[in-house]
Amino acid sequence: MWWRHHEGVTAAVVDVGSNTVRVVVVRDGHELVSQREMLRLGASIERTGSIPPEKLDEAAAVVARFADQARAAGADHLQILITSPGRQAANGDELAEVLEHAGRCETRILTALEEGLLAFKGALDTASPPSRRLVAVVDVGGGSAQVVVGTRRSGPLWARSVDIGSQRLTSRLLEADPPGPGAVAAAKAEVERCLEGFEPPVPMLAFAVGGSARALRRLAGRRLEEQNLEELVVLLSTTKTQRLIDRHGVDPERVRTMTAGAIILAALQRRLDTPLKVVRSGLREGALAELAAARAAA
């Protein structure tokens, strides 16, 4: 694992996505801090094309609090990473400036490729597949989805980003409770439109990372494949939110975007023609590895 090469380094990342803002602080492989706040920046972007002033203020307050927590845990150097909100909002640069001031540290808007490559690194560092085996890493976020195919030995060999995510698809077509078959059919057609020309190499293994995959794992287990993903879409799209929470233990903060996440993951799984194994580590762990290596080399 990456931390074995960077013992004594305390690394911290604040990850600002379309659904959540998260902070993770790690030292020698142990999580010292792991917190999240659900802001749904992507819903505002889908409605208006930008992030309104009140949401900028809310994001700044959360990032300032998380940065303080990271420093209190011993991270004297940390980084704020902004994913699809920075790329998709008309005022993405303003978001970065506001958060850099709030967190008092380096702030980066990740390109879609950078986001996918960090998720690939984080997943493979944790899952440790055979070094020559062709592996896909699928990261469905709130605003976009990334797929990277490669090996541990050679690194990434193929990478693509799809401009649809669980929050965007929910805001666009799946806001009813429950969404129902008609909305699901429209959402599937929208995902197929976004996947035109998407032809990945077929891997021997495939890993799913990110909030959508982790939320679905609670209902379906670690292995997501065509049959159980379709069953999840039916269950989620025909069951009231409160019933899903009460009867199935679904995360109340994730439940409203889970139908969209299942639809997107199902479409990607079909194209990869390989079951998806859900792993916990992804973008943040890849970013922490990079940050720890830079800190150790300084």
Q: Say what the pLDDT of residue 298 is.
A: 63
Q: Would you say 270 and 226 are in contact if contact means Cβ atoms under 8 Å apart?
A: yes
Calculate mean pLDDT across residues 271-292.
Answer: 93
Q: Sheet holding 145-151: strands in order across?
A: 155-162, 145-151, 135-140, 205-209, 276-278, 223-224
Note the pLDDT tens digit of each residue in 17-68: 999 999 999 988 789 999 999 999 999 999 999 999 999 999 999 999 999 9
Q: Is 165 exposed, middle or buried (0-12, 13-18, 19+ CB in 10 A)?
A: buried
Residue 288 φ/ψ region, left for φ over 0, alpha for ψ in the -120 to 50 degree band, beta for the rest: alpha
Query: What's the average model confidence in pLDDT over 114-135?
Result: 96
Whether the upstream peptide bond of residue 178 has omega within 30° of 0, thus cis, is yes
161: pLDDT strictly greater than 90: yes
Mean pLDDT (the chain, rounded): 94
- Look at residue 242 and tell me whether its pLDDT is greater than 80: yes
> What proportion of the chain, given as a percentage, has pLDDT over 70?
96
Closest CA to 59 of 33, 40, 46, 78: 40
- Domain definitions of the chain by residue range: 2-110, 113-278
First to last CA, the chain: 21
How far from 181 is each of 90, 94, 187, 236, 248, CA to CA, in Å? 33, 39, 10, 11, 20
- 226-237 pLDDT, tens digit per residue, is 999 999 999 999
User: What is the reported pLDDT for 294?
Assistant: 75
Average pLDDT, integer, range 65-91: 96
User: What pLDDT is attached to residue 235?
Assistant: 97
Is residue 6 scored above 70 in pLDDT?
A: no
Residue 2 has pLDDT above 50, yes or no: no
What's the average model confidence in pLDDT over 182-196?
98
Q: Residues, the chain, total?
A: 298
Whether 113-278 and 2-110 are alike in CATH topology: the answer is: yes
* Residue 1: pLDDT over 70: no
Topology (CATH) of 2-110? Nucleotidyltransferase; domain 5 (3.30.420)
R_g of the chain, CA atoms, integer Å: 18
7 pLDDT above the threshold of 70? no
Q: How far apart are CA 63 and CA 55, in angstroms?
A: 12
Q: 125: closest CA among 9, 204, 23, 117?
A: 117
What does the pLDDT look like over 130-149, one tens digit per residue? Answer: 999 999 999 999 999 999 99
Is residue 291 very low, low, confident or very high in pLDDT (cuts 50, 70, 90)? Answer: confident
Phi-psi region of 129 (alpha: psi -120 to 50; beta: other; left: phi over 0): beta
Tokens of 61: 């307050």
Beta carbons within 10 angstroms of residue 295's beta carbon: 17
Check if CATH label 1.10.760.10 holds for domain 113-278: no
